[in-house]
Amino acid sequence: MKQILKTGVVLTLCLKAFARRTFSIGTLAIGAFSISAFSPGIVTQAVATEGGQTNWASGVQTIYPALTPAPGQTLWQDYFVVNPNGAYSSTSRKSAVPGFRATAIANAARLFHSWHGEFLGATISSSAILAINSLTLRAGGQGGTAFGANWLYLAPLYLSWHTPKLHIYLGEGAFLPIGSFSKTDVVSESTHVFGFNQEAALTWMPTKRFDVSAEGELQINAKNGATDYKSGNVINIDFGANYMLTPALPQLRLGLNGFVTSQFTNDVQNGRRVGDGNRLAKYGLGPQLIWFFKPPYAVALKWQHEMGVQNSTRGDRYWVQFQIPL
Task: Give the mean model confidence (pLDDT) for residues 302-317.
Answer: 92
Whether 14 has a pLDDT exceeding 70, the answer reads no
Q: How many residues does the chain have?
A: 326
Q: Which residues contact 171 (CB under 8 A, 6 or more apart)?
A: 125, 127, 155, 157, 158, 159, 198, 199
The topology (CATH level 3) of 35-317 is Porin (2.40.160)
pLDDT at 34: 36
Task: Give the mean model confidence (pLDDT) for residues 269-294.
Answer: 94
pLDDT category of residue 183 using cuts at 50, 70 and 90: confident
Task: Give the mean model confidence (pLDDT) for residues 257-261.
Answer: 97
pLDDT at 44: 33
CB 175 within 8 A of CB 216: no
Distance CA 125, CA 115 (A): 6
The larger pLDDT score, comparing residue 86 to residue 199, is at 199
Whether 104 has a pLDDT exceeding 60, the answer reads yes
Distance CA 99, CA 114 (A): 47
Considering the entire predicted model, what is its pTM? 0.83
Whether 298 has a pLDDT exceeding 80, the answer reads yes
Q: Nearest 5°: phi and psi at 36?
A: -65, -25
pLDDT in tens, 70-80: 999 999 999 99
41 Cα distance to chain centroid: 16
pLDDT in tens, 160-169: 999 999 999 9
Distance CA 37, CA 82 (A): 13
pLDDT at 137: 86
Percent of the chain surpassing pLDDT 70: 82
CA distances to 44, 91, 95 from 18, rounded to whole Å, are: 12, 11, 10
Domain spans of the chain?
35-317
The SS3 of residue 35 is helix
Whether 47 has a pLDDT exceeding 50, the answer reads no
Whether 147 has a pLDDT exceeding 60, the answer reads yes
Query: What count of other Cβ atoms lies within 10 Å of the Cβ of residue 176?
Result: 12
CB 181 within 8 A of CB 142: no
The SS3 of residue 36 is helix
CB 304 within 8 A of CB 321: no
Q: Nearest 5°: phi and psi at 282?
A: -170, 160
Q: Which of 33-37, 79-83, 132-136, 206-210 has the lowest mean pLDDT?
A: 33-37
Give the residue among 278, 213, 276, 291 at the shortest CA–CA distance from 245: 291
Give the residue among 151, 17, 38, 181 at the shortest CA–CA distance from 88: 17
